[in-house]
Amino acid sequence: MTEQKATNITWHAGHVTREERQALTKNKPCCLWLTGLSACGKSTIAVALEQVLIKRGHVAYVLDGDNIRHGLNKNLGFSPEDRTENIRRIGEVAKLFVDAGAIVITSFISPYKDDRNKARAVLQPGEFIEVFVDASVEVCAKRDPKGLYEKALRGEIKNFTGVSPDAPYEAPDKPEIHLASDNMSVEQCVETLLNYLAEKGHLLS
């Protein structure tokens, strides 16, 4: 766990209630945490879901793994320690988006169960929705638009999740949603997510 380094600081509670924010955003806010191997379809599904939610009048935002590493986490690599810190920071950012009343959709490999559980812990019960975007290494390697799997198999990329011996992927045991993305279309995945959000009361209109 990252130690608190700053001293003489105080948490300042806001003066806007969750109910007031929900009336504005038309959401019961939550975090859809998409996890899975590289090229399993996380980002594609996240972006498609965001588009549908926005068109329906909801406040939604995608936090994408590559985008975050261009800015907030540009100082982190792919060692186990850096992966853990990457997810810790994202969990805190997701919490801020949820506090603001949004449906935040994160798209990160987030390979370690413990890291995902810690991200869940910073949110209120029911706000963290783990979504396992499940596709085999073989399927992901065939889809891979960046050619990363081929490079990893040649040994040109180290610490590549699902390929490198020192970079395992720990699949969720009991995700709220399991998307078999090697057999489901993007549209089917999005519909599954929308149905879940509706059933759990996250879409208020």
Joined tokens for residue 36: 């899975």
The CA distance from 110 to 161, in Å, is 10
Joined tokens for residue 43: 């980002």
* Catalytic position from the list 38, 110, 136, 181: 110
Q: How far is CA 198 from CA 192, 202, 203, in A?
A: 10, 6, 5
Q: Which amino acid is at 183?
A: N
Return the biggest CA–CA distance within the chain: 55
66: Cβ–Cβ under 8 A, 6 or more apart, which residues? Answer: 43
Under a CB-based contact definition with an 8 Å cutoff, are residues 101 and 27 in contact? yes
Q: Is there a catalytic annotation at residue 43?
A: no
Residue 203 DSSP class: B
What residues are labeled active site? Answer: 110
